[in-house]
A and B are shown apart, each in its own frame.
Chain A
Amino acid sequence: MIERAHFILVCLTLFVLPLSSALANDPMPSEESLAGAFKTVDTFSPYAGRNFPVQVLWGDTHVHTGLSMDAGAFGATTTPDDAYRFAKGQELMSSTGVPARLSKPLDFLVVADHSDNMGFFPLLAAGTPSFLADPTGRRWYDMIKAGGQEGVKVAVEVIQRFSNNTFPEALASTPGTTAYRDTWEQIIKAAEDHNDPGNFTAFIGFEWTSNDMGNNLHRVVMYRDGGHKASMVEPYSTVKPQGSPDPTKLWDWLEAYEAKTGGRIMALAHNGNLSNGIMFPMKKTYFGHKVNEAYATRRARWEPIYEVTQIKGDGETHPALSPNDEFADYETWDQGNLDLSTLKEEKMLQFEYARSGLGVGMQVENRVGVNPYKFGMIGATDSHTGLATAGEDNFFGKHSGGEPNADRWKHPMAKIGDLSYESYNLAASGLAGVWAKENTRAAIFDAMMRKETYATTGPRMTVRFFGGWEFEASDALTRQPAGAGYSKGVPMGGDLSAPPEDSSIPSFLVAARKDPISGNLDRIQVVKIWVDKSNTRHEKVYDVVWAGDRSPGADGKLPSVGSTVDIPNATWTNTIGEPELVGVWQDPAFDAKQPASYYARVLEIPTPRWMAYEAKRYGLTNLPEEVEMVTQERAYTSPIWYTPKKK
Chain B
Amino acid sequence: MNRLLREPLVHFLLGGALLFILYGLVSGDESYAPDRIVVGADRVTELATTFQRTWSRPPTDHELRSLVNDFVDEEVLYREALALGLDRDDLVIRRRMRQKVEYLHSDLAEFAPPTEAELAEYLASNHDVYQVPAQVTFQQIYVNPGAKTGDASPYERAETILAGLRSGQAIDGDLTMLPAGMRSVSESEIGSTFGALFAADLVALQGVGWLGPVASSFGLHLVHIDKRLPARTPELDEIRREIARDFDSLRRKQKNKEFLNKLRARYEVEVRMPEGESLAEEPLAPSMEG
Q: Spell out A's residues near B (CB within 8 Å).
A: 44-46, 66, 72-73, 75, 77, 81, 89, 91, 93, 97, 99, 104-105, 120-122, 124-127, 129-130, 148-149, 151-152, 155, 158-159, 162-163, 165, 172, 179-181, 193-194, 233-236, 240-243, 253, 256-257, 259-260, 460, 462, 477-481, 511, 513-514, 516-517, 574, 578-580, 582
Contact = CB atoms under 8 A, between A and B. Distances in A.
Contacts of B218: 514, 516, 579-580
Contact of A233 (B56, B66, B110, B177): B56
A122 B49 CA distance: 11
B80 interface: no
A479 B177 contact: yes
List 10 tightest A-B contacts by C-beta distance, closest first. Answer: A516-B195, A126-B45, A241-B66, A126-B46, A126-B42, A234-B53, A260-B56, A579-B218, A73-B92, A234-B54
A517 B92 CA distance: 40
A129 B42 CA distance: 8
Given A241-B63, A579-B217, A513 B178 contact: yes
Contacts, number: 150
A266 B56 CA distance: 18
Interface stretch (B16-24, B98-106, B116-124): B98-106
Which of A126, A460, A480, A517: most chain B CB closer than 10 A?
A126
B66 to A, nearest CB: 4
B111 to A, nearest CB: 7
Contacts of A105: 188
A99 B287 contact: yes
Contacts of B46: 124-127
Contacts of B54: 233-236, 242-243, 253
A583 B191 CA distance: 26
Contacts of B266: 165
A215 to B, nearest CB: 22
A180 B107 contact: yes
A159 B111 CA distance: 12
B183 A44 contact: yes
A159 B180 contact: no
B180 A479 contact: yes
B81 interface: no
13 contacts: A72-B96, A73-B95, A91-B288, A97-B284, A104-B192, A125-B49, A159-B105, A159-B259, A163-B262, A193-B245, A479-B177, A513-B177, A580-B177
B91 interface: yes
Contacts of A73: 91-92, 95-96
Contacts of A242: 50-51, 54, 67, 70
Contact of B107 (A179, A462, A579): A179
A418 B220 CA distance: 54
Nearest to A161: B108
Interface in B38-86: 42-43, 45-46, 49-51, 53-57, 63, 66-67, 70
A516 B191 contact: yes
Nearest to A574: B217
Contacts of B183: 44-45
Given A121-B103, A130-B42, A233-B54, A477 B284 contact: no
Contact of B286 (A77, A97, A165): A97
B193 interface: yes
Contacts of B178: 513, 580
Contacts of B67: 241-242
Contacts of B111: 152, 155
A127 B146 CA distance: 71
B155 interface: no
Interface in B167-198: 175-178, 180-181, 183, 188, 191-196, 198
Nearest to A167: B104
A126 B191 contact: no
A511 B177 contact: yes
Interface of B: 42-43, 45-46, 49-51, 53-57, 63, 66-67, 70, 91-92, 95-96, 99-100, 103-105, 107-112, 146, 175-178, 180-181, 183, 188, 191-196, 198, 216-219, 245, 249, 259, 262-263, 266, 283-284, 286-288
A495 to B, nearest CB: 25
Contacts of A513: 177-178
Given A91-B288, A516-B216, A580 B176 contact: yes
B56 A256 contact: yes
A260 B56 CA distance: 7
A46 B109 CA distance: 52
Nearest to B266: A165
A179 B108 contact: yes
Contacts of B217: 514, 516-517, 574, 579
B31 to A, nearest CB: 10
B99 A72 contact: yes
A122 B181 CA distance: 52
Nearest to A513: B177
A387 B60 CA distance: 42
Contacts of B216: 516
A582 B175 CA distance: 11
A163 B112 contact: no
B287 A122 contact: no
Contact of A127 (B42, B56, B287, B288): B42
A614 B45 CA distance: 54
Contacts of B91: 73
A479 B176 contact: yes
Given A242-B54, A477-B175, A104 B286 contact: no
A163 B192 CA distance: 48
Contacts of B262: 163
Nearest to B49: A125
Nearest to B249: A81
Nearest to B69: A241
A121 B42 contact: no
Nearest to A184: B53
Nearest to A122: B50
Which of A120, A122, A179: most chain B CB closer than 10 A?
A120
A89 B57 CA distance: 42
Contact of A151 (B49, B110, B175): B110
A259 B110 contact: no
A163 B107 contact: no
A522 to B, nearest CB: 14
A528 to B, nearest CB: 25
Contacts of A479: 175-177, 180
Contacts of A127: 42, 46
Given A159-B259, A511-B177, A580-B176, A104 B104 contact: no
A126 B107 contact: no
Nearest to B284: A97
B38 to A, nearest CB: 14
Which of A162, A241, A514: most chain B CB closer than 10 A?
A241
Contacts of A574: 217
A281 to B, nearest CB: 26
Contacts of B249: 81
Contacts of A149: 112
Given A104-B192, A149-B112, 14 more contacts: A99-B287, A124-B49, A125-B46, A125-B49, A126-B46, A152-B111, A158-B108, A162-B105, A162-B108, A233-B54, A243-B54, A513-B178, A516-B195, A516-B198
